[in-house]
Amino acid sequence: MDLQVQVSELGLVLTTAGGLVFSGGPNDRYFRAFDGKNGEVLWEFCTNSGVTGVPSTYAVDGVQYIAVQSGWGVDAQCIMQGRLDAFYGTTTWVPQGRVLWVFAVRE
């Protein structure tokens, strides 16, 4: 299979039995759903801060949900982003904050 999907530097990825792949970017703030067969972005949402948690899934009354944590702390912003910026020669500002985002998976 020749599948090329760019995911976050942290490898925060969740795959579902239905062929969806969820991944979040630590510094671009986006949480995305991909088609697991062709890598096409099916949906994306800009969170309040960098996506820092591994996505998880659960179901309630037959509805599947995806939950993910967003929110850099001072250590992550200064240390992790500082290292990335030093490597790439960039300066990136990522807002801080802590939020648990929950999304319903609908057909």
pLDDT at 107 over 90: no
Assign 11 to helix, strand or coil: coil
Determine the pLDDT at residue 91. Answer: 85
Q: What is the pLDDT of residues 31-88, one digit of tens each?
A: 999 999 999 999 999 988 888 888 999 999 999 999 998 887 665 666 777 788 889 8
- Residue, of 2 and 21, whose pLDDT is higher: 21
Classify residue 94: in a domain, yes or no.
yes
- Domain, as residue range, for 74: 13-105
Task: Tell me the sheet residues that pair with 103.
Answer: 66
Classify residue 77: in a domain, yes or no.
yes
Segment (H or E) for 102: strand 99-105
Classify residue 1: in a domain, yes or no.
no
Q: How many domains does the chain have?
A: 1
CATH number at residue 21: 2.40.10
- Residue, of 91 and 33, whose pLDDT is higher: 33
Q: Report which residue type is found at 73.
A: G
Classify residue 5: in a domain, yes or no.
no
Classify residue 4: in a domain, yes or no.
no
